């Protein structure tokens, strides 16, 4: 059995396992994806972090209309659907929800948990710039989170314990980084973007030790793997949210003969590009990694950093085009896509495709036509 | 050609004569310097407001003057600084005063907010601006903030000048700041953001989070510093204090009007007219004294109408709370009143007791930031729910119309919660309606009518049954 | 006392004639483009059934979206109020009314006396209405009457989620291109309409007994999926289309002016 198969097997048993863990008394702390919550904090408090990142299914979107009006980002809007429909076990497990509030859509997630369920939230705001006062705010937020976790679990988060968890998480991040770095500029990657993303999604609820072991094996397997160049156009993917279960665009890209070779998403991935320093105050070190070094999402202002990052990535990875994937009513992405497209095309000369999803099944045909054309354009340019 | 219109808006003949070149230049730029447009404006303003009320004329005067100032700002000043809603009024007033004292080289204002009132309820010319905004990063059908579509459109069409500095609001919603960020890239001007974090704990309001207040206050300080660096203008503590004084007067006057209308039976004036003082509560202009005079006049006029028993809805009509002012078009307000429902208070005109507690901050800028978060609708859903419930109880409402804005993300979270809470906890029926603050194309008045009519009948029948029991 | 209720909807015009609290005749015709004429015609036709003429009527109340253009009525009353009244008359223990008409769908919570405690109504979108089913029938080359029975043939309803009529149309086309059975597509459409209306009405709540009215209530496919998705029994009366007209005529008996 190879590593990916082992992972699938582990995940298939994980939901009942988590149920048992909860039954046995360990606290489970849920949080929405977004990368502003250092999981090491939760581990250090003796609780189990559980990232609630399901999306892509139309039914919870429809269901959510009974709870929240439709003008909220699709991913954020449908979260209540997963909870009330009851079929997704992960959404039934949390004892507490921690929400780093990055924008109104995320705040909406916190509001619906508080209003419609008996699971309460702890929120902390993420400022929208990287000035010193903003960093200080984020640091203060992490300190409050620490206090909250301590009072919630009754376990003191000592500096030693926290550093130990940081070390473990650093190793996880390193493994993700190592695997990511096997992807070469302009080449067919050893691991598909969809598989790489699925590793991230696995990290949201898998047993950490098991996942770590699987990632170690997988890395070795991938290193040995002889990758055949497909010659398909290479695409850089950037997204507001790449939710667990939202794989429509990957399937379509596969069908029409293009391939993603790298991805950046505000939500849906575990931050892995930088480790947390073990020197000095661990809170400051985490703030540096999770806030300062983090690629800014579209709702930051100024937002230049993100624009430059994507343009540089496109050049560095020698991609043939960029796909911008966003969810309906995520205004920050919609607005930024306008000036970004202009600049991206001007600077790189590469084609740009924007897709916007409401997790609706009727989108598929339209998406396919557009991605097909996009791939065709890239092919023509290649010749 | 336009004398009649301007007289409806409180201008005297002498003033029209004196201002003629400015008026004509501004009208031309707004595309309304022709008979047809002026005729349409006369009809529009009369449909929206009761222009025979002196207070309405006086308040319209403030808006018209401010609008012309904003359109001509670049022609008449070296530096232009735009402050954009949602924005602290005290701070803008202080900057306006500082700019004036420094000799008028710099113009500070809130031209977009003025434009939406004048362009919407007087000239009815917002659609081309909205359509232009839709072409610039805020496409149709995606629920983008129509206020900012108007802003982008107005700049792109040359109706408003590009500023040298925009002071943007990122403390309440995301779209405001995101649009300004885009505009700064497109039109090459600088933005200083007031930032906020929106992380109030559920049910924590009115206990304000000091961290959040201080953080937002600091961003205000940084913005003021940037204004100084660019224009040399320094806003003093005294000017900030004067800004506070204005707001205090405004709060007092608005509460007076709100309480008087709320207690009167029948409802003495259409709530459509209250759009004007509400607008000037949120918008700082160069004419604070005239604005306060207009407000005081409205207080007197309302009082007189109550004394004389005048009413716009039948006596004893069911009392209904309407949760949103549609700023650019008063049709929904009028429609509810025409259906025979009394609107004792609308939107967030009322200040609930929790908002009126004394500030514990000493620093003026901290106080400004605190003031923002005193308003429950600007924090989280739990605060808004508490406001709605307190209001409906206090005003003895028979029902509530939870209208919310298509374009406004922060206010799209809680309408269904509000309906459930009001029904469950207060036992009053509530209906959720989708409207829009600035774009009348986003709701169909006729579709609203069917639902409002049905709702009105339900509410009336309830009231009759209650009375019978 | 002899009264008429005229319900002018988007698709059909309905009239009910009530004498001393009991319905004696009713008639349904397509509304067509001339609303006023249809309203008059359907009323005269209904009266003719009972051997009566307009001059025999003591009062007329109009309802439905075009109630204000019915010039011969004494007054207009909203269809929500009328529906509740009409249903209450025939099924007094109804506590929830699901009404799906040509362009509107509503969920109404009536009190024990037939007055309305709460209601919701669809916004301007046509998904979840009779119009939606009609458009889909066209795409699938079925008549509207064939849709319901066809839906019941399915063992595996296709996933249809579109919240928009226009997009649903392209969704149908792609499902057909993927060779999904027609009955499964039709079932999927019916489930989607049922779900959409159910979700819309959740803030009103679903209490036994649930009565399904409006033109679409004749569609057994929608009834089936309403019951399945709600897990509750849904009752359809004999003439689900005329509840509004009946209610209007009944209100005219009590409060003609």
Q: Tens digits of per-residue pLDDT, A125-143? A: 999 999 999 999 999 999 9
* Cα gap A42→A21, rounded to integer Å: 15
Q: Of A115, A126, A301, which is closest to B417 when you measure between CB atoms?
A: A115
CB contact under 8 A, C115 and B461: yes
> Is the per-residue pLDDT at C5 higher than 60?
yes
Query: Which chains border C (3 or more CB–CB pairs < 8 Å)?
Result: A, B
Query: Which chains border B (3 or more CB–CB pairs < 8 Å)?
Result: A, C
Band (A320; pLDDT cuts 50, 70, 90): very high
CB contact under 8 A, A338 and B182: yes
**A65: chain C residues, CB-CB within 8 Å:** 199-200
Q: What is the pLDDT of residue B438?
A: 56
**A370: chain C residues, CB-CB within 8 Å:** none
Q: Of C159, C164, C173, which is closest to A58 when you measure between CB atoms?
A: C159
Q: What is the pLDDT of residue B468?
A: 75
Q: Of B443-447, C100-104, C192-196, C248-252, give the range with the top mean pLDDT.
A: C248-252
Q: Looking at chain B from residue 389 to 418, which residues have their Cβ under 8 Å from any Cβ of chain C?
A: 416
| DSSP per-residue string spanning B319-338 | BEEE----TT--HHHHHHHH
Distance from CA of A117 to the nearest CA of C (A): 16
Per cent of chain A over pLDDT 90 is: 95
Distance from CA of C122 to the nearest CA of B (A): 9
For chain A, which residues make up each domain, given as ranges?
1-383
Distance from CA of A361 to the nearest CA of C (A): 6
Q: Which residue has the higher pLDDT, B205 or A40?
A: A40
CB contact under 8 A, B447 and C123: yes
Q: What is the pLDDT of residue C138?
A: 87
CB contact under 8 A, C199 and A366: no
* Cα gap A30→A54, rounded to integer Å: 12
Least confident range of B4-18, B150-164, C89-103: C89-103
> A369 at the C interface (CB within 8 A)?
no
* Cα gap A25→A29, rounded to integer Å: 12
Q: Of B444, B455, B462, which is closest to C124 when you measure between CB atoms?
A: B444
Distance from CA of A79 to the nearest CA of C (A): 16
pLDDT digits (tens, 9 = 90+) for B71-92: 999 999 999 999 998 889 999 9
Which DSSP category does A24 fall into?
T
> B454 at the C interface (CB within 8 A)?
yes
CB contact under 8 A, B457 and C77: yes
Q: Which residue has the higher pLDDT, B469 or C66?
A: C66
CB contact under 8 A, B404 and A121: no
pLDDT digits (tens, 9 = 90+) for C15-29: 999 999 999 999 999
CB contact under 8 A, B196 and A121: no
Q: Of A59, A63, A362, which is closest to C162 when you measure between CB atoms?
A: A362
Q: Looking at chain B from residue 409 to 468, which residues have their Cβ under 8 Å from any Cβ of chain A?
A: 409-410, 412-417, 432, 434
Q: What is the pLDDT of residue C161?
A: 73
pLDDT digits (tens, 9 = 90+) for C78-137: 889 999 999 999 999 999 999 998 888 999 999 898 888 888 887 656 667 888 888 888
Chosen for mutation from B432, B441, B453 (greatest number of chain C CBs closer than 10 Å) is B453
Dihedral of alpha carbons B288, B290, B294, B297, sign = positive
CB crowding C152-168: b at 16 or more within 10 Å, else e: eebeebbbbbbbbbebb
Q: pTM of the prediction?
A: 0.92
* Cα gap A30→A97, rounded to integer Å: 5
Strand C2-8: give its sheet, edge to edge: C22-30, C12-19, C2-8, C59-63, C75-76
Q: Is the reported ipTM for this assembly greater than 0.85?
A: yes
What are phi and psi for residue C158, nearest 5 degrees? Answer: -70, 155
Chosen for mutation from B430, B451, B463 (greatest number of chain C CBs closer than 10 Å) is B451
Q: What is the pLDDT of residue C166?
A: 67
> B450 at the C interface (CB within 8 A)?
yes
**A111: chain B residues, CB-CB within 8 Å:** 202, 380-382, 413-414, 417
Dihedral of alpha carbons B425, B427, B428, B430, sign = positive
CB contact under 8 A, A365 and C170: yes
Distance from CA of A178 to the nearest CA of B (A): 35
Instruction: Calculate the alpha carbon distances from A203 to A172, A290, B195, C227 in Å.
Output: 9, 17, 33, 40
Q: Of A108, A120, A338, which is closest to B202 when you measure between CB atoms?
A: A120
Band (B434; pLDDT cuts 50, 70, 90): confident
Q: What is the pLDDT of residue B442?
A: 60
* Cα gap B155→B183, rounded to integer Å: 9
Residue of A nearest to C127 (CA): A62
Distance from CA of B367 to the nearest CA of A (A): 18
Band (B66; pLDDT cuts 50, 70, 90): very high
Instruction: Calculate the alpha carbon distances from C236 to B108, C80, C213, C219 in Å.
Output: 65, 17, 7, 10
Q: Within chain B, what is the greatest distance between any pair of CA atoms?
A: 69
Q: Looking at chain B from residue 339 to 398, which residues have their Cβ under 8 Å from any Cβ of chain A?
A: 380-382, 385
Residue of B nearest to A123 (CA): B199
> A20 at the C interface (CB within 8 A)?
no
Average pLDDT estimate for A171-185: 97
Band (A383; pLDDT cuts 50, 70, 90): low
Band (B440; pLDDT cuts 50, 70, 90): low
Mean pLDDT of chain B: 93
Distance from CA of A13 to the nearest CA of B (A): 35
CB contact under 8 A, B197 and A120: no
Q: Where are the beta strands (DSSP E) in chain C?
A: 2-8, 12-19, 22-30, 59-63, 75-76, 96-100, 105-110, 116-121, 210-213, 234-236
Average pLDDT estimate for B358-385: 92
Q: Which residue has the higher pLDDT, A272 or C69?
A: A272
> B138 at the A interface (CB within 8 A)?
yes
Q: What is the pLDDT of residue B327?
A: 81
For each of the domains in chain B, give its residue range(s) and CATH number, in order of start.
Answer: 3-235 (3.40.50.11890)
CB contact under 8 A, B168 and A301: yes
Residue of C nearest to B445 (CA): C124
User: Checking phi first, is residue B432 left (phi over 0); if not, alpha (psi -120 to 50) or beta?
Assistant: beta
Report whether A329 contacts A359 (CB < 8 A). Answer: no
Distance from CA of C65 to the nearest CA of B (A): 7
Average pLDDT estimate for C210-214: 96
Q: What is the pLDDT of residue C104?
A: 84
Report whether B38 contacts B2 (CB < 8 A). Answer: yes
Least confident range of B140-154, B429-443, C212-226, C242-256: B429-443
* Cα gap B416→B435, rounded to integer Å: 15
pLDDT digits (tens, 9 = 90+) for B221-248: 999 999 999 999 999 999 999 999 999 9
* Cα gap C46→C42, rounded to integer Å: 6
pLDDT digits (tens, 9 = 90+) for B168-224: 989 989 999 999 999 999 999 999 999 999 899 999 999 888 999 999 999 999 999
Assigned CATH topology for domain A1-383? Rossmann fold (3.40.50)
Mean pLDDT of chain C: 90
Report whether C222 contacts C190 (CB < 8 A). Answer: yes
Counting DSSP H helices and E strands in chain A, the numbers are: 14, 8
CB contact under 8 A, C121 and B429: no
Residue of A nearest to B173 (CA): A104
Could you give the count of Cα atoms lying within 13 Å of A57 in the half-sphere of its Cβ? 17
Residue of B nearest to A105 (CA): B409
> B167 at the A interface (CB within 8 A)?
no
Q: How many residues appear in chain C?
A: 257
Chain center to CA of B412: 18
Q: Of A65-74, A369-378, B297-306, C94-103, give the range with the top mean pLDDT.
A: B297-306
**B414: chain C residues, CB-CB within 8 Å:** none
Band (B329; pLDDT cuts 50, 70, 90): confident
CB crowding B412-435: b at 16 or more within 10 Å, else e: bbbbbbbbbbbbeebebbbbbbbb
Counting DSSP H helices and E strands in chain B, the numbers are: 19, 7
Distance from CA of B176 to the nearest CA of C (A): 27
> Is the per-residue pLDDT at A260 higher than 70?
yes
């Amino acid at each position: 059995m190879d590593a990916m198969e082992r992972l699938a097997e582990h995940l298939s048993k994980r939901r009942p396992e988590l149920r048992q863990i909860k039954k046995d008394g360990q606290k489970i702390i849920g949080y929405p994806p977004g990368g502003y919550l250092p999981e090491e904090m939760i581990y250090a408090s003796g609780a189990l972090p559980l990232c609630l990142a399901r999306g892509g299914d139309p039914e919870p979107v429809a269901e959510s209309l009974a709870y929240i009006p439709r003008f909220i980002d699709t991913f954020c809007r449908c979260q209540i659907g997963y909870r009330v429909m009851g079929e997704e076990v992960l959404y039934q497990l949390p004892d507490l929800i921690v929400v780093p509030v990055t924008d109104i859509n995320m705040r909406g997630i916190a509001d619906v948990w508080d209003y419609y369920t008996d699971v309460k939230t702890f929120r902390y705001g993420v400022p929208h710039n990287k000035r010193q006062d903003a960093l200080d705010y984020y640091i203060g937020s992490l300190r409050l989170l620490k206090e909250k976790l301590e009072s919630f679990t009754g376990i003191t988060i000592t500096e030693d314990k926290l550093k130990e968890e940081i070390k473990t998480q650093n190793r996880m991040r390193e493994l993700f980084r190592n695997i990511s770095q096997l992807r070469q500029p302009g080449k067919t990657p050893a691991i598909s973007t969809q598989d790489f993303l699925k590793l991230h999604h696995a990290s949201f609820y898998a047993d950490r030790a098991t996942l770590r072991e699987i990632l170690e094996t997988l890395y070795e397997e991938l290193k040995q793997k002889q990758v055949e160049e497909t010659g398909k156009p290479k695409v850089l993917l950037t997204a507001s949210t790449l939710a667990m279960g939202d794989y429509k665009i990957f399937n379509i890209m596969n069908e029409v003969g293009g391939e993603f070779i790298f991805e950046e998403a505000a939500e849906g991935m575990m931050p892995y590009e930088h480790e947390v320093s073990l020197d000095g105050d661990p809170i400051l070190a985490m703030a540096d990694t999770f806030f300062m070094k983090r690629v800014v999402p579209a709702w930051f202002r100024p937002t230049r950093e993100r624009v430059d990052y994507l343009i540089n990535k496109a050049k560095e990875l020698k991609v043939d085009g960029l796909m911008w994937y966003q969810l309906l009513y995520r205004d920050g992405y919609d607005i930024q896509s306008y000036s970004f497209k202009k600049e991206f095309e001007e600077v790189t000369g590469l084609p740009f495709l924007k897709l916007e999803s409401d997790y609706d099944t009727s989108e598929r045909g339209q998406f396919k036509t557009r991605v097909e054309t996009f791939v065709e354009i890239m092919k023509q340019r290649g010749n | 050609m336009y004398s009649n219109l301007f007289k409806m808006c409180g201008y005297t003949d002498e003033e029209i004569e004196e201002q003629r070149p400015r008026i004509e230049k501004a009208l031309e730029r707004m595309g309304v310097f022709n008979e047809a447009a002026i005729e349409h404006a006369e009809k529009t303003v009369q449909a929206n407001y009761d222009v025979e009320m002196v207070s309405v004329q006086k308040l319209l005067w403030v808006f018209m003057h401010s609008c012309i100032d904003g359109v001509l700002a670049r022609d008449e000043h070296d530096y232009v600084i735009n402050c954009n809603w949602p924005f602290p009024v005290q701070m803008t007033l202080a900057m306006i005063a500082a700019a004036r004292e420094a000799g008028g080289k710099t113009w500070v204002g809130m031209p977009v907010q003025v434009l939406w009132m004048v362009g919407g309820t007087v000239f009815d010319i917002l659609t081309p601006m909205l359509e232009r905004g839709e072409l610039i990063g805020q496409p149709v059908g995606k629920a983008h903030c129509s206020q900012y579509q108007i802003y982008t459109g107005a700049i792109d069409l040359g109706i408003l000048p590009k500023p040298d500095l925009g002071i943007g609001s990122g403390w309440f919603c995301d779209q405001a700041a995101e649009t300004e960020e885009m505009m700064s890239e497109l039109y090459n001007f600088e933005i200083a953001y007031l930032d906020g974090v929106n992380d109030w704990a559920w049910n924590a309001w009115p206990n304000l989070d000091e961290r959040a207040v201080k953080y937002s206050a600091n961003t205000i300080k940084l913005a003021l510093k940037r204004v100084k660096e660019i224009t040399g203008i320094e806003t003093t503590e005294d000017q900030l204090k004067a800004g506070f004084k204005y707001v205090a007067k405004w709060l007092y006057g608005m509460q007076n009007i709100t309480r008087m209308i709320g207690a009167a039976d029948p409802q003495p004036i259409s709530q459509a007219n209250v759009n004007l003082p509400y607008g000037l509560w949120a918008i700082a202009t160069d004419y604070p004294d005239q604005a306060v005079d207009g407000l005081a006049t409205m207080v007197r006029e309302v009082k007189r109408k109550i004394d004389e028993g005048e009413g716009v809805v039948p006596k004893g009509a069911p009392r209904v709370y309407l949760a949103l002012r549609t700023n650019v078009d008063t049709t929904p307000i009028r429609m509810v009143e025409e259906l025979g429902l009394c609107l004792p208070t609308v939107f967030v005109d009322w200040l609930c007791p929790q908002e009126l507690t004394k500030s514990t901050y000493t620093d003026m800028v901290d106080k400004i930031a605190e003031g923002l978060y005193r308003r429950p609708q600007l924090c989280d859903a739990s605060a808004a729910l508490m406001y709605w419930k307190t209001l409906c109880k206090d005003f003895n409402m028979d029902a509530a119309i939870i209208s919310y804005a298509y374009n406004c993300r922060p206010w799209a979270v809680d309408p269904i919660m509000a309906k459930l809470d009001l029904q469950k906890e207060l036992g009053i029926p509530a209906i959720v309606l989708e409207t829009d603050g600035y774009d009348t194309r986003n709701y169909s008045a006729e579709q609203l009518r069917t639902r409002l009519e049905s709702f009105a009948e339900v509410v009336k029948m309830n009231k009759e049954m209650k009375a019978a029991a | 006392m002899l009264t008429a209720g005229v319900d002018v909807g988007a698709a059909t015009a309905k009239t009910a004639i009530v004498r001393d609290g009991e319905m004696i005749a009713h008639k349904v015709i397509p509304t067509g483009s001339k609303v006023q004429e249809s309203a008059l015609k359907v009323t005269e036709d209904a009266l003719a059934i009972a051997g009566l003429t307009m001059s025999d009527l003591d009062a007329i109340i109009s309802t439905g979206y075009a109630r204000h253009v019915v010039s011969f009525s004494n007054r207009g009353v909203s269809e929500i109020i009328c529906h509740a009244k009409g249903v209450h008359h025939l099924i007094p223990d109804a506590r929830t009314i699901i009404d799906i008409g040509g362009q509107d769908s509503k969920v109404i919570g009536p009190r024990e006396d037939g007055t309305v405690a709460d209601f919701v109504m669809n916004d301007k979108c046509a998904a979840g209405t009779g119009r939606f089913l009609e458009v889909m029938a066209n795409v699938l080359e079925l008549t509207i009457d064939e849709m319901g029975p066809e839906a019941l043939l399915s063992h595996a309803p296709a996933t249809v989620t579109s919240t928009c009529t226009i997009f649903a149309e392209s969704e149908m086309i792609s499902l057909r291109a993927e060779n999904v059975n027609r009955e499964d597509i039709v079932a999927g459409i019916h489930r989607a309409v049922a779900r959409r209306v159910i979700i819309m009405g959740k803030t009103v709540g679903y209490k036994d007994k649930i009565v399904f009215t409006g033109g679409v209530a004749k569609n057994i496919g929608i009834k089936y999926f309403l019951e399945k998705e709600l897990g509750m029994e849904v009752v359809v009366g004999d003439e689900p289309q005329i509840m509004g007209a009946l209610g209007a005529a009944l209100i005219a008996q009590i409060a003609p002016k």
